[in-house]
Structure 1
């Protein structure tokens, strides 16, 4: 049998392949995540924003087609306009291919981008121009029962910032807390 050729194209994809997408979507449905805001998850997002000093933080779940911010704190959004601000802010729903959370889910490990313009793969993402994201800090949400990456806990800012090891520890600790909340929801 001839050797299998090495496929380097997967490394070049801007949006990573997602073979767990269908199973993740089914698990999110079982957990009741991805269709409406969850006040407890909004509180986690607000706390992450407070600790990191970021204007935007989220608890994000990812299905096959989109990302849904089940928990969101966006200091740029007018609370009187509800969860989707037509004049700016992230809103609750974003296409799957936008942003950096899909990379965290695919890699199943935290991602720290202190300045997205330093990374060609991430600098070309539409959230840079459309939302003004200049920095990203995210950790995966691993479902304690299935072991599947369901989404992320993340923080973003419109200016580069040095998250450092402290930021990484903070986002991982917050992800661990949210994972426990997901475990409580599954009972």
Structure 2
């Protein structure tokens, strides 16, 4: 994990599996371009959870890529989500498909290999200082890892909101179930069934 001496918090975790993940994503043909099937899956995620934003997120050593993305207005800006780009994306209503690895909560989910429920990120000092809180306005997060048949954590599925959300146990079970469903779709695609 990296340490921020100004805030005295552990931030983005060290990801020793990233090189293996990148190789596996390349084998699967994932993580480098938007995928209409994954956009459809993200839209379904939003519908099932009632969240305004949802993503199918693949993570490499430096950044996150939303191969599947759903936003309330359906727009996806092309800029990266960091400082001024985040402000531009927010002002235009667009959301980028790229985000720095140290932004957001998905890198924690991938390294921990466990689902994460943050009903109000401001209730958790470790997560409240994340740049997505101030730059994008994220207040709640629900995400689960995508662990494939090789044991590789490929990325995550997640939903976020700009308001606190009571995801609860039902939300946790839902996101874990949907992650398992997407992993099965990825396996079928790899086996030539999709």
| Band the TM-score falls in, shorter-chain normalisation | 0.7 to 0.9
Q: How many aligned residue pairs are there?
A: 175
Structure 1 runs of 4+ aligned residues shifted over 4 Å read none
Give the CA RMSD over aligned residues.
1.9
Secondary structure in structure 2 of the residue aligned to 1:172? helix
Match of 1:104 in 2: 109
Match of 2:22 in 1: 25
Structure 1 unmatched ranges of 5 or more: 1-8
Match of 1:150 among 135, 141, 154: 154
Q: CA deviation at 1:76?
A: 4.4
Secondary structure in structure 2 of the residue aligned to 1:35? coil
- Give me the whole-angstrom Cα distance separating, in 2, the residues matched to 1:77 and 1:48: 14
For each residue in 1:60-111, what CA deviation from the matched residue of structure 2 results, as whole angstroms up to 9, or x when unmatched? 0111111000111011453xxx553742443111011100000000000000
- Give me the whole-angstrom Cα distance separating, in 2, the residues matched to 1:170 and 1:131: 25
- Give me the whole-angstrom Cα distance separating, in 1, the residues matched to 2:183 and 2:169: 21
Match of 1:4 in 2: none
Match of 1:182 among 157, 161, 186: 186
- Give me the whole-angstrom Cα distance separating, in 2, the residues matched to 1:90 and 1:16: 24
Larger Rg: 1
Structure 2 unmatched ranges of 5 or more: 4-8, 80-88
* TM-score where L is the length of structure 1: 0.88
Match of 2:82 in 1: none
- Give me the whole-angstrom Cα distance separating, in 2, the residues matched to 1:108 and 1:26: 18
Secondary structure in structure 2 of the residue aligned to 1:156? strand
Q: CA deviation at 1:150?
A: 0.8
Match of 2:86 in 1: none
